[in-house]
Amino acid sequence: MSFIDEVKIYAKAGDGGAGCVSFRREKFVPFGGPNGGDGGRGGDLILEVSSQVSTLYDLRLHPHQKAERGKHGMGQDRHGAGGDDLVIPVPLGTIVKDAETGEILADMAEPEQRVVLLKGGRGGQGNARFATSTNKAPKFAQPGEPGEERVIRLELKLMADVGLLGFPSVGKSSLITRVSSARPKIADYPFTTLVPHLGVVEYKNYRTFVMADIPGIIEGAHEGAGLGHRFLRHVERTRILLHLLDPCRTHDSNPLDDYETLNRELALFNPELAEKPQIIVINKMDLPDVQALLPEIVPYFDRLGLKVFPVSAATGEGIPALLDEIAATIWTE
The per-residue pLDDT for 217 is 61
CATH superfamily of 1-156: GTP1/OBG domain (2.70.210.12)
The per-residue pLDDT for 205 is 80
More confident residue, 216 or 289: 289
Q: How far apart are CA 323 and CA 139, in angstroms?
A: 76
Nearest to 146 by CA among 18, 264, 32, 36: 18
Domain boundary assignment for the chain: 1-156, 162-330
The per-residue pLDDT for 46 is 97
Cβ atoms 241, 279 nearer than 8 A: yes
> Mean of the pLDDT values across residues 265-292?
86
pTM: 0.71
On the question of a common fold for 1-156 and 162-330, the answer reads no
CATH (residue range 162-330): 3.40.50.300
pLDDT digits (tens, 9 = 90+) for 46-67: 999 998 888 888 898 999 999 9
Cβ contacts of 332 within 8 Å, gap of 6 or more: none
Nearest to 310 by CA among 250, 251, 255: 255
The per-residue pLDDT for 219 is 53
Lowest mean per-residue pLDDT among 6-20, 42-56, 191-205, 255-269:
191-205
- Kindly provide the residue ranges of all beta strands, DSSP E only, lying in the chain, ordered along the sequence: 6-12, 45-49, 64-66, 86-90, 94-98, 104-108, 114-118, 149-156, 162-165, 197-202, 208-213, 240-245, 278-282, 308-310
DSSP run (H or E) holding 319:
helix 319-330
Cβ atoms 324, 294 nearer than 8 A: no
> Mean of the pLDDT values across residues 305-313?
91
pLDDT digits (tens, 9 = 90+) for 109-132: 899 999 999 999 999 999 999 999
What are the beta bridge partners of residue 153?
A: 8, 97
pLDDT digits (tens, 9 = 90+) for 132-150: 988 988 999 999 999 999 9
Backbone angles phi and psi of 32, in degrees to 5? -65, 135
